[in-house]
Amino acid sequence: METTIVRCRNCHGVYPRPFLIPDRNPYEAYVAEDYFHGKDQAEKVAGGRLLAQRAKELLGRSGRMLELGCGRGEQLLGAREAGWDVAGVDMTAGFVPADGGLSIEVAPVESAASLDRTYEAIILAAILEHLYDPIECLRRVHDALVPGGVVFIDVPNECSLWARVGNAYMHLRGRDWAINLSPTFPPFHVVGFCPGSLATALAATGFSVVTLETPRWNNDLPVSRGIVQRFESLGTDVVLAAGQIIGQGAGITCWARRANGQRAT
């Protein structure tokens, strides 16, 4: 079935047409050892400590932190080391360590009972692009935060220089492909954000943006061979670096605050 990438004229967010919804958990295509192969666990733990420290700076205190899509829970371990009371949610039981000493609910984000409790900080790292209703997720996150609580979000930037140049390069090579919403294998990216569309979604669900940045993310074009592969690797590195310099990096990182005591509408 042919799929077309559609971009909103107003906020520049993207989504596929037709919008296909799987009948099972796409992560079940992997075992944990394969899915997390090459991931640096110590780096993830350190990243959790940094997120916890930044959340404390924004709030002026530590507290309860929830991570949605926490996988093996390395970032939660880092946040716990930084003094936070942590919990997580992940929909794939095979990813959740049985002996990690962490409180992790095995459930889809959309129906997680953990979001019926309250937290000072919630982490959504590489999650929103996989959800079929990210607005509803943000509403639940808003209502699970204490007034003034903060959320961290990172997503790919579908308006990045890398995406623009990559799409043009695919066209020049005669391929009817789009770089947007990659990868094209499970677990798929089913919605895509630009800085404007993420800010719009946050405002619509009761958040005020604290910081929104477009850093460099290391993305790759489809693999070629030989001299073409070396050319593409060099070109990708240059484009990713240039994108960060001009404010069109391949990723979006954002901290936002629950704006008031009202429930999200």
Residue 230 lies in a domain: yes
Residue 265 lies in a domain: no
Contacts of residue 106, Cβ cutoff 8 Å, sequence gap at least 6: 90, 91, 92, 93, 96
pLDDT band at 10 (very low <50, low <70, confident <90, very high): confident
Percent of the chain at pLDDT exceeding 70:
87
Please give the tally of structural domains in the chain: 1
If phi > 0 it is left, if psi is from -120 to 50 it is alpha, else beta; for residue 60 that is left
For residue 57, give the amino acid letter.
Answer: E
Q: pLDDT by residue (tens digit) across 76-98?
A: 999 999 999 999 999 988 888 76
Q: Residue 168: its pLDDT value, please?
A: 86
Sign of the alpha-carbon dihedral angle for 158, 160, 166, 167: positive
Q: How far apart are CA 141 and CA 112, in angstroms?
A: 11
Q: How far is CA 263 from CA 41, 142, 146, 164, in A?
A: 36, 7, 11, 38
Q: Residue 257: its pLDDT value, please?
A: 98
Token pair for 232? 């593409």
Q: Is the pLDDT reported for residue 227 higher than 60?
A: no
Lowest mean pLDDT segment, chosen from 17-26, 57-66, 87-96, 190-199: 17-26
**Domain carrying residue 151:** 4-258
Q: Is the pLDDT reported for residue 34 higher than 50?
A: yes
Q: Residue holding tokens 């919403």?
A: 181
Percent of the chain at pLDDT exceeding 90:
52
pLDDT band at 225 (very low <50, low <70, confident <90, very high): low
Q: Residue 209: its pLDDT value, please?
A: 97
Provide mean pLDDT across the span 16-43: 74
Token pair for 2? 């042919």
Residue 96 lies in a domain: yes
Q: Is the pLDDT reported for residue 61 higher than 60?
A: yes
Q: How far apart are CA 64 and CA 122, in angstroms?
A: 9
Provide mean pLDDT across the span 248-253: 93
Provide mean pLDDT across the span 11-39: 74
For residue 157, give the amino acid letter.
Answer: N
Contacts of residue 249, Cβ cutoff 8 Å, sequence gap at least 6: 157, 160, 161, 213, 214, 215, 216, 217, 240, 243
Contacts of residue 200, Cβ cutoff 8 Å, sequence gap at least 6: 10, 11, 13
Provide mean pLDDT across the span 119-135: 94
Q: Residue holding tokens 């919605």?
A: 191
Residue 263 lies in a domain: no
Residue 168 lies in a domain: yes
More confident residue, 254 or 163: 254
Q: How far apart are CA 213 and CA 228, in angstroms?
A: 32
Residue 179 lies in a domain: yes
Lowest mean pLDDT segment, chosen from 24-28, 161-165, 190-194: 24-28
Domain containing residue 120: CATH number = 3.40.50.150
Q: How far apart are CA 255 and CA 153, in angstroms?
A: 6
Provide mean pLDDT across the span 196-201: 96
Residue 72 lies in a domain: yes
Mean pLDDT over each residue of the chain, to the nearest integer: 86
Residue 142 lies in a domain: yes
